[in-house]
Amino acid sequence: ISHSNVELIGENLYVLERIPHRALSTAVGALIKNAYEACPDSPQPIKIKFSRSGEGLELEIIDHGPGLDSEELERLGEPFYS
């Protein structure tokens, strides 16, 4: 995945500096990898959107893949399922 395939969106992104680098890179890296695998030939970039949500941070990964069917959606919280 090249940097040209990823777009970072958000205001006040300095809040990302407070998150332990390893935890953030592991979590976001896995999400970006899944998004890329869903649409590897898409000309549109994968978007990573950060926004404040109350006292927390909301992360949204936006790709242009086909999405999940209802069975996949039910299994989404299972360990090691992707």
* Cβ atoms of residues 64 and 44 within 8 Å: yes
- Report pLDDT digits (tens) over 52-82: 777 777 888 888 888 888 888 888 778 877 6
More confident residue, 61 or 9: 61
| Model pLDDT, residue 72 | 85
Give the 3-state secondary structure of residue 74: helix
Q: How far is CA 5 from CA 2, 23, 64, 74, in A?
A: 5, 22, 12, 29
**What's the pLDDT at 16?**
63
Residue 15: per-residue pLDDT:
61
